[in-house]
Amino acid sequence: MFDLDLKEIEKNITLIVPSTVGVTDITPEGVDIVISVKNIREFYNSDQLIKRIASTIRKRVIVRSDPSQLADPDITTKAITEIVPVDAGVDKVRFRPEFCEVWIEALKPGLVIGKNGVTMREIMVRTGWQPKILRTPTMASSVLAGIRSTLIKESPERKKFLSGIGKKICSNGGSVEWARITCLGAFQEVGRSCMLLETSKSKVLIDCGINAATTDPAKAYPYLSSTNMALDQIDAVILTHAHLDHCGFVPFIYAYGYDGPIYCTPPTRDLSVLLQMDYLGVTKKSENPPYKIKDVHKQLSNCITLNYEEVADISPDIKLTFYNAGHILGSAAVHLHIDEGLHNLVITGDLKYGYTRLFNQANTNFPRAETLFIESTYGGKNDFGINRRDADERLISIIRHTTLEKKGKVLIPVFSVGRAQEIMLVLEEYSKRFPDWNIPVYLDGMILEASAIHTAYPEYLRHNIQKRILSNDSPFEKEIFEPVKKPRKEVVEGEPAVILAPSGMLAGGPSVDYLRQMAEDERNTLIFVGYQSVLSFGRRIQKGLKEIPTEDENGKLKTMQINMRVETVEGYSGHSDRIQLLNYIRAISPTPHKVFTMHGDENNCLELARTVNNSLRIEARAPMALETIRLR
């Protein structure tokens, strides 16, 4: 049975909804079918009505009051203050008349929603406006504030965009004849993740990243030109998560002709904007960036967010569902259901199937899964992680020796999103355990903004961290952490301290600036806690590089000596080690028929595929970039 087209959807809804509700319009809007009614109270008198509609038409459904039934915004704002408890901490109330929505930002959204949605429903019935509840971050975030303001401001344009996308999704052109994947980046390499899913009816891009460890265009960007396909032929782009090697090149495709939707989780949308804007700032200093601010803005305007396990049609023949991948905030494994069961595909993105302080481990239960594409960053035969407790003890031991005994400073290059927050949780806990350790932890770059965005989405975090944020005890706001508000030279020349600074691979950003100032002092220590790609500056130092050509303050070339202690503390990666990857494949239900490895150095991809073949008895291989794989 194929999905219904728009006329069939309208017919079914009309048959189900009682005439007393007064349906005035049925229209597609992005991945949703929107039903406008004159009597919203009558509609919600039946708790099962919306479930009946959704199960019949097999689409996501939104019910709104007809615009003629909306109360005046001032009256609505007053009603909200009367209905919502003061303890909810309502911060802002803003209106989107184009969507008949009222956005309510609050520190405690649960109190705005009410038990079983009773408070939210009362707002809707009393005013006609559809409440959209947003969490106010416990830390100020200019990026999050800007994103929300932009989405409010651009509501008229977004309404037109979503209407056009909805009509395309609801078209029905018959059955799919074939499906295939083309590998456009991060196959037998790390960086520039990108793959193209094509069916006889649709073209969908999954991830579109850069390799920030190189400035060589031949190695930095995906092989998009190899498809001989105009960018406006792409129906949708899906993002697994917000790291630049997965999202960094998305604005480029908007700059050169793409005008369709981006699908991701809400945290991925916000973090992508944060990282892309920072990337623009970095590249402008040394080269011509591949896109402009307006292209990031366009991406934001065209973004459609889905929470974990929400099923949505993204084309006439493809359904998308995101599942927790355990890697960073909002990271997702992608499940694609093609043409009523012709094929089911799981793409892990970056994956953590093991313990972290921040997130639950990756989901392994899917409706169906014939084919699996899995990352292989640590898929090599010697890539075994260490116990997290041992990692924590070793990290703290190195820090204490450097700061307390040698009176030096510790530089930890981190990814602003994920590793920074993980290390912050470790340091926050150990500062409680060691009363004598009152060493400040300086946060530079985007770390503070990224941490603020974490506090806006506690439901994506482990339960204990979620509970702390909701209880006004956010671990990211403790006194031990100090944002850098003075020249970095003063930090370096000051008292012993720990410095967390991006980028994590020393590919640019604050960490490189600190390295220049700290490298020659043998009292200091450099600690790597994340993956260092083959092409990165970090990998070269990790492997023993001791002399680095650099420029002094006057622009003259000099040699920088790496006299500082260099350490690598394993155990903090957001990627799965070899055992975790194999356990993940074992745990997937149902077991996939075929496995393809990606996102790993050549040997790691090949080794993991070989082991899956030999040990798990599942057909597996490691495709190369530019290969095309027929799925059906």
Which CATH code, of 3.30.300.230, 3.40.140.10, 1.10.10.920, 3.40.30.10, is assigned to 6-67?
3.30.300.230
Q: Look up residue 131 and give its amino acid.
A: P
- Express each pLDDT in 391-409 by its tens digit: 999 999 999 999 999 999 9
- Determine the average pLDDT of the residues in 564-568: 96
pLDDT average, residue stretch 456-474: 94
pLDDT at site 549: 80
For position 534, what pLDDT does the model report?
79
Q: Where are the beta strands (DSSP E) in 38-152?
A: 60-65, 90-96, 101-106, 130-135
pLDDT in tens, 92-107: 999 999 999 999 999 9
The class that CATH gives domain 160-382+575-630 is: alpha beta
Q: Is the pLDDT of residue 57 over 80?
A: yes
How many Å apart are CA 264 and CA 238, to the nearest integer? 6
User: What Å distances lie between residue 392 and 397, 474, 556, CA to CA?
Assistant: 8, 20, 41
Per-residue confidence band for 285, with pLDDT thresholds at 50, 70 and 90: low
Tell me the C-alpha to C-alpha distance, in Å, between residue 111 and each of 77, 104, 134, 204, 550.
16, 11, 12, 39, 55
What lies within 8 Å, CB to CB, of 67 at 6+ separation is 36, 97, 100
pLDDT on residue 1: 39
Q: Is the pLDDT of residue 219 over 90?
A: no
Can you give the residue ranges of every domain in the chain? 6-67, 70-136, 160-382+575-630, 400-445+484-568
Q: How far apart are CA 411 and CA 443, in angstroms?
A: 11
As a whole number of angstroms, the distance between CA 303 and CA 263 comes to 6
DSSP type of residue 403? I
Whether the bond between 503 and the residue before it is cis, its omega within 30 degrees of 0, is yes
The answer, yes or no, to whether residue 149 has pLDDT greater than 60, is yes
Of the candidates 317, 314, 311, which has an alpha carbon nearest to the alpha carbon of residue 302? Answer: 314
Report residue 214's pLDDT band, with 50, 70 and 90 as the boundaries. Answer: confident
Do the domains spanning 6-67 and 400-445+484-568 agree at the CATH topology level? no
Q: Which residue's structure tokens are 């009393």?
A: 126
| Percent of residues, the chain, with pLDDT higher than 70 | 98
**pTM score, two decimals?**
0.93
What is the topology classification, in CATH, of domain 400-445+484-568? Rossmann fold (3.40.50)
Burial 438-454, CB ≥16 within 10 A → b, else e? ebbbbbbbbbbbbbbbb
What's the CATH class of domain 70-136?
A: alpha beta
* pLDDT value of position 550: 74
Pick from 184, 508, 193: nearest CA to 327: 193
* Closest by Cα among 418, 260, 435 to 351: 418
C-beta atoms surrounding 285 within 10 Å: 8
**Percent of the chain residues topping a pLDDT of 90:** 81
pLDDT over 90 at 249, yes or no: yes
289-326 pLDDT, tens digit per residue, is 778 999 999 999 999 999 999 999 999 999 999 999 99
Backbone angles phi, psi at 337, to 5 degrees: -105, 115
User: Tens digit of pLDDT for each residue in 334-379?
Assistant: 999 999 888 999 999 999 999 999 999 999 999 999 999 999 999 9
Tell me the average pLDDT of the chain: 93
